[in-house]
Amino acid sequence: MIVADTNLLVYLKIRSDQTSLAERVLVKDSDWHAPLLWRSEFRSALASNMRAGRITYEHALEAMESVEQMMLHNEHSVDSTAVMRLVADSTSSAYDCEFVALANHLNAPLITSDSQLLRNFPNRALAPDQFLVA
């Protein structure tokens, strides 16, 4: 089981130089979890990619539906006190701390490409390439 940061979900569904890495993470561990916030962040990433002309509206809808199905039963509400404790002890945003709080709660690694999360939470956050060799 892993907690997947939204960037990992985006890499999985929007072709980039990071897609094969995300696919290998999925092969290694297909039990992905995330806070409910992932949906809004994922939609925002889809919108940015649509506006930049990298994906079509249809691709965005297909990606959203696919990831919603993948994450079915693996979305979690996160304890606000736990999030705010992490915010107080780091320079990460409350949004990012939701993923860390969930990873702590599930005692699972947080797989992310976010350098600030990797720096602030080295005992919980792993880059995808680190996870693959762990």
CA 109 and chain centroid, separation: 11
pTM for the model stands at 0.95
- What's the whole-number average pLDDT of the chain? 98
Proportion of the chain above pLDDT 70, given as a percent: 100
For 114-127, the pLDDT digits (tens) are: 999 999 999 999 99
Are 92 and 75 in contact by the 8 Å Cβ rule? The answer is no
Q: What is the pLDDT of residues 9-51, one digit of tens each?
A: 999 999 999 999 999 999 999 999 999 999 999 999 999 999 9
Position 134 confidence tier, pLDDT thresholds 50, 70, 90: confident
Domains of the chain: 2-133 (3.40.50.1010)
**Structure tokens of 16?**
């980039």
Cα–Cα distance measured from residue 88 to residue 94, given in angstroms and rounded to the nearest whole number: 9
User: For the segment 55-73, what is each residue's pLDDT rounded down to a tens digit?
Assistant: 999 999 999 999 999 999 9
CA distances, 114 to each of 59, 63, 70, 71, 106 (Å): 25, 21, 22, 21, 20
Q: pLDDT tens for residues 77-118?
A: 999 999 999 999 999 999 999 999 999 999 999 999 999 999
